[in-house]
């Protein structure tokens, strides 16, 4: 995370791997488990799967549930790359760590963000490259690899991009496979600025619309009408059904792409703003409430400021809603397992600083990956 003010922090949405060097450690060390173990760092629910002084984020499951992939910043490397990592489904030792994406190797910063695997094993992710010490990516692309070897991926879409008649998209969030030939995601704003002369660089990310990329068509992604200010998107029971959330809105919407028919799937009401939706089978997961607000910035326009919230799981058949115990953390980007019996999520510790007359609570700049059992 990066600082906006002492009481308003939000996760760093990676625009380039160089920015992640600003992250810092945040947790006390656990004892190191034996090499090649399939046991987590801390089995106490919610189970802590990773322990990293850099940022671990954007977890997703392999289609058969046999592993968890995520983005992992490696502060011990000279280039502080954000790498593709894979864990056993129960946690433990990394099975895979893919870092260098350019032929220059450690002479550049490389970032693998929002990795997600299709049913046929192909990997899609956001690929960013910058010079070491740079604050902006010199090159950013959506990429697809035939397997988990991200270094051999094909670039399929440049970022930024501009759909006809639409604002330019400088960032991509919530990347998903819609079907074997289409990717779906939230296209929007990714801006970098300082809140003050001596403040750290702040990366601001917010959504414009749900966009769909045709991998076979070679065209600019197509925006989905009626999804203005989107803050999350997920697949439903078929490639024609999606769920999405909107900035500043407590509701999750269900939509048929072919007809445009849209209905409210669930309203979290007084629990707060909903975002980061994910749906598997008959369960819906979302982040709700917490440290989030929606306002109009004088320079950037409408922006949803988000430091994380509470993970909720909804049974779509009964509309029953269960909030998973938040503990001393805020959460972002839950991903349900293929069987919907578990979910992985980014967790950010709350930091309490003694101040007079009342303590000040902020949120860590770096997160780890946690595992919940769903109701």
Give the number of other CB atoms < 10 A from CB of residue 375: 13
74 occurs within a structural domain: yes
> Which two structure tokens, joined as six digits, stand for 299?
């320079």
Give the model confidence (pLDDT) of 161-217 as tens digits: 999 999 999 999 999 999 999 999 999 999 887 777 777 777 889 999 999 999 998
Please state which of the ranges 100-109, 161-170, 227-236, 281-290 shows the lowest mean pLDDT. Answer: 100-109
d(CA 222, CA 215): 12
In a domain, residue 34? The reply is no
The answer to the question of residue 319 being in a domain is yes
For residues 299 and 318, the model is more confident at: 318
The three-state (H, E, C) secondary structure of the chain, written as one string = CEEEECCEEECCCCCCHHHHHHCCCCCCCCCCCCCCCCCCCECCCCEECCCCCCCEEEEEECCCCCCEEEEEECCCCCCCCEEEEEECCCCCCCCEEECCCCCCHHHEEEEEEEEEECCCCCEEEEEEEEECCCCCCCEEEEEEECCCCHHHCEEEEECCECCCCCCCECEEEEEEEEECCEEEEEEEEEEEEECCCCCCEEEEEEEEEEEEEECCCCCCCEECCCCCCEEEEEECCCCCEEEEEECCCCEEEEEECCCCCEEEEEECHHHCCEEEEEEECCEEEEEEEEEEEEEEECCCEEEEEEEEEEEEEEECCCCEEEECCCCCEEEEEEEECCCCCEEEEEEEEEEEECCCCCCEEEECCCCEEEEEECC
Q: Which token pair is 310?
A: 């509470």
CA-CA distances (angstroms) from residue 159 to 44, 122, 139, 260?
A: 40, 20, 8, 27
Average pLDDT, the chain: 86
Tokens linked to 151: 């270094």
- CB-count exposure of residue 371 (10 Å: 0-12, 13-18, 19+): buried
Question: How many domains does the chain fold into?
Answer: 1
239 or 22: whose pLDDT is higher?
239
pLDDT 10s digits, 89-130: 999 999 999 998 866 556 778 899 999 999 999 999 999 987
| pLDDT level of residue 365 (50, 70, 90 thresholds) | confident
Tell me which of 42-46, 160-164, 235-239 is least confident: 42-46
What is the spatial distance between Cα 247 and Cα 245, in angstroms, rounded to a whole number? 7
Residue 127 in tokens: 């690929």
Q: Is residue 358 part of a domain?
A: yes
At residue 36 the predicted structure's pLDDT band, cuts being 50, 70 and 90, is: confident
Does the CA dihedral 296-302-307-309 come out positive or negative? positive
CATH number at residue 162: 2.120.10.30
Q: 123-131 and 108-117 as β-strands: parallel, antiparallel, unpaired?
A: antiparallel
| CA-wise closest residue to 252 among 290, 225, 228, 278 | 278
Residue 108 placed within a domain: yes
| Range with lowest mean pLDDT among 127-141, 213-227, 311-325, 334-348 | 127-141
Boundaries of domain holding 236? 2-29+39-373
| Distance in angstroms (rounded) separating the CA atoms of residues 24 and 27 | 10
Whole-angstrom CA distances from 260 to 181, 254, 263 are 20, 10, 10
**Burial class of residue 8 in the structure, from the number of CB atoms within 10 Å of its CB (0-12 exposed, 13-18 middle, 19+ buried):** middle
Predicted local confidence at residue 1, as pLDDT: 29
Whether residue 113 lies inside any domain: the answer is: yes
Determine, yes or no, domain membership for 85: yes
**Which has more pLDDT, 9 or 253?**
253
């Amino acid at each position: 995370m990066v600082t906006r003010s002492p009481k308003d922090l939000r996760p760093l949405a990676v625009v380039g791997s160089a920015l992640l060097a600003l992250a810092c450690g945040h947790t006390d060390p656990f004892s190191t488990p034996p090499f090649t173990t399939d046991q987590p760092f801390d089995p106490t629910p919610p189970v802590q799967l990773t322990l990293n002084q850099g940022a671990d984020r954007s977890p997703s499951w392999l289609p058969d549930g046999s592993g968890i992939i995520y983005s992992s910043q490696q502060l011990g490397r000279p280039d502080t790359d954000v790498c593709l990592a894979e864990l056993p489904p129960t946690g433990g030792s990394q099975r895979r760590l893919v870092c260098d994406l350019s032929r220059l190797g450690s002479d550049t910063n490389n970032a693998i963000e929002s990795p997600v695997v299709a049913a046929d094993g192909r990997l899609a992710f956001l690929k960013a490259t910058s010079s070491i010490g740079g604050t902006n990516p010199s090159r950013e692309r959506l990429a697809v690899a035939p397997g988990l070897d991200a270094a051999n991926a094909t670039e399929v879409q440049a970022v930024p991009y501009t759909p006809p008649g639409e604002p330019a998209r400088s960032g991509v969030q919530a990347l998903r496979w819609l079907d074997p030939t289409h990717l779906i995601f939230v296209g929007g704003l990714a801006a970098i600025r300082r809140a003050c002369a001596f403040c750290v660089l702040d990366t601001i990310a917010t959504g414009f619309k749900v966009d769909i990329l045709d991998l076979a068509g070679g065209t600019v992604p197509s925006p989905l009408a009626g999804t203005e200010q989107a803050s999350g998107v997920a697949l439903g029971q078929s490639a024609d059904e999606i769920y999405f959330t909107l900035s500043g809105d407590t509701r999750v919407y269900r939509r048929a792409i072919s007809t445009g028919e849209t209905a409210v799937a669930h309203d979290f009401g007084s629990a707060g703003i909903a975002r980061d939706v994910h749906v598997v089978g008959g369960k819906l997961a979302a982040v709700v409430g917490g440290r989030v607000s929606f306002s109009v910035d004088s320079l950037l326009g409408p922006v949803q400021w988000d430091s994380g919230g509470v993970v909720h799981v909804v049974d779509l058949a009964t509309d029953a809603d269960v909030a998973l115990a938040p503990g001393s953390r805020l959460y972002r980007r839950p991903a349900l397992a293929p069987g919907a019996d578990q979910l992985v999520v980014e967790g950010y510790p709350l930091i309490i600083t003694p101040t007079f007359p009342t303590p000040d609570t902020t949120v860590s700049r770096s997160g780890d990956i946690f595992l919940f059992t769903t109701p």
